[in-house]
Amino acid sequence: MQRTASTHPEGFTFLVWSGVGVGVLEEPGEGPLLKSFLSPGERVCLDERVLPQRQPEWLRGRHACKQVVRELMGPESLMHQVEVLPGPQGEPQLHLSEGPGPLNISISHTRTLSVAAVTARGRVGVDVEPMAPVEERLWHFFLSPAERARCEREPELALRLWVLKEALYKALRPPQPIPLRSLIPELGEGVLRLAPPFEWELSFTFLPLRNHLLAVVHS
């Protein structure tokens, strides 16, 4: 990924990859400051749909997304003119009060790091997880039998597949829920293909960042 040289808020990093703007935000400021960037609709969503213990990371994710939009569209894009509201399946969708659109977005966060990906073309999915082994008891939720056998030989692969499949699922946005273990990507050099019955070919990348692993998938 390419890092930009522009000035950003403390704790925010902006990167560009394959036509996708990616923003990474680390525990910035206080909750009231982040809430000041919310639209009325976002405040309602925060109060009614987000558990109190999840609100700090939810706020960071929306803040990161709005910062990326400003990077892509210019500083004249005021934070309150950019809304991130739930879509039909609960996925975050971007709404602009003015300016070009639509922009496709994806958001992911841990307790200490929030990531947003924004693109004007194609689909995008992003996921971030702490750089730590994935417990074997969780493998069957997201790995196929063949993938589990491979991860028994290469345990570090489990985290990469987990992060990649989470990002892939967000990019695909299937109309009906499907288990992650049924998504079996065939990985090439920066390109993944899904085994039948899915017929998709998408670009992907990994980025180790601040003791986390980030994956971005883009069609």
Mind listing the pLDDT tens digit for each residue in 126-174? 999 999 999 999 999 999 999 999 999 999 999 999 999 999 999 999 8
Each residue's pLDDT tens digit, 14-58:
999 989 999 999 875 555 556 888 989 999 999 999 999 999 999
Q: Compute the Cα dihedral for 135, 140, 146, 149 and give only its sign.
A: positive
Which structure tokens are listed for 142? Answer: 């997201």
pLDDT at 98: 63
Please report, as a single letter, which amino acid is at residue 179: P
Report the candidate in 136, 140, 143, 141 with the shortest Cα–Cα distance to residue 161.
143
Beta bridge partners of 85: 93
Around 32, how many Cα atoms within 13 Å sit in the side-chain half-sphere? 0
Closest CA to 155 of 174, 136, 181: 136
- For residue 7, what pLDDT is reported? 44
Yes or no: say if 28 and 63 are a contact pair by the CB < 8 Å rule.
Answer: yes
| CATH 3.90.470.20 domain range(s) in the chain | 2-121
Domain at 2-121: CATH code:
3.90.470.20
How high does pLDDT run on average in the chain? 88
User: What single letter denotes the amino acid at residue 69?
Assistant: V
Q: Are 116 and 105 in contact (CB under 8 A)?
A: yes
Nearest residue to 118 (alpha-carbon basis) of 88, 146, 151, 96: 96
Element of type H or E holding 170:
helix 157-172
How far apart (Å, rounded) are the C-alpha atoms in residues 53 and 153?
Answer: 37
Q: Which uninterrupted H or E stretch holds 166?
A: helix 157-172
Q: Report percent pLDDT > 90 for the chain.
A: 63
The pLDDT of residue 189: 87
What integer is the mean pLDDT of 104-126? 95
Structure tokens at 35: 């809430």
For the cut 90, the answer to whether the pLDDT of residue 76 exceeds it is no
